[in-house]
Structure 1
Amino acid sequence: VYFDALTTQLRPATVLAAIAAGKHIYCEKPVASDLATALELGREARKAGVKNGVVQDKLWLPGLRKLGRLVETGFFGRLLSVRMDFGYWVFDGSEAPSQRPSWNYRKEEGGGIILDMYCHWRYVVNGLFGPIRSVLALEATHIPERVDERGAVYPSYGFDRFARPELHTAGVR
């Protein structure tokens, strides 16, 4: 089994090499930074006959497990729609070390809030309530600069700012 936890832009080459070596694949998300590459990785894994999967760890968080049990038991009654707000790590790194490595916030290094976090939000909503029917995302700059691991200040670009996605599902389970 090959487990990949590299940055997103490094992932496709290493996953393809592991597939070529006949290894089953378990990797971090997202699988790739674009759909075409992700689909290619899936096709190659299928062609090689190797199993493959992606980390979906948020479903095991205690609060989300409890929410799932409440939904399953009908605690909330008949759910007509769901709206969940998700945040992102808000420390800028100037007063305390950032909770995430700086590449995680930089698109050019394989990061960015939507690329890095949307897949978590999606499988959480799908897992708890069923398929997402519509998406709305709003963006605002609340942290204009961040400080990396070396203490260097870098600007917070549009793709790594605060995002407030709304994931809506209707006619939930």
Structure 2
Amino acid sequence: MNSGRRGLVHRIALNAASPCPKARLECVGPARDVLRSIAESWGITGGALDDVLTVAYELIVNAVRHTPPGRLPVSLRLSPDGRRLMVEVHDLSRRLPRIPTGAFADDGAESGRGLLIVSALAEQWGATLTADGKIVWVRIALPIALPVPALARATHRALVVADVVRAARTRAVKPNPFSPLAD
């Protein structure tokens, strides 16, 4: 777990490297259990916990089903003010997610509703392309602000002070007229 400018952050990596899609889906249950433990340790309970786990489950299942086998990093981020939670799933596909047009009409469909559920539970969601795939992210508003430990705030202050000190120590280097690189 990290803390700092972005509040609390916890990252896990799922092993979805099996060439068999059914075997890759076996990582989803344990990931959900780990995410439940993290969210509960931060004080997320009740309906908010159910929403977080449902969103995480849908994003992870989509990533496992629709991307090549590999490692899937998953992040939970609690905002510095404790009012929002971000769920992020990184995958190896560059294909951006979309809500299927038939998802609204076909009551008998066995899949295609995951992003509808995510959209209904999220304050906002989207995807960002990366050098090696994409990050699908969801921001969930929490019903009450959670206390962000003082450690997170203290760490943030320490990082700011370190940045200021580092910037203050930066000096312009005078060119050496005797250097073979001098003009």
Same-fold status (TM-score > 0.5)? no
Say which one has the larger Rg: 2
* TM bracket, shorter-chain basis: under 0.3
Using structure 2 for the length normalisation, give the TM-score: 0.23
Using structure 1 for the length normalisation, give the TM-score: 0.24
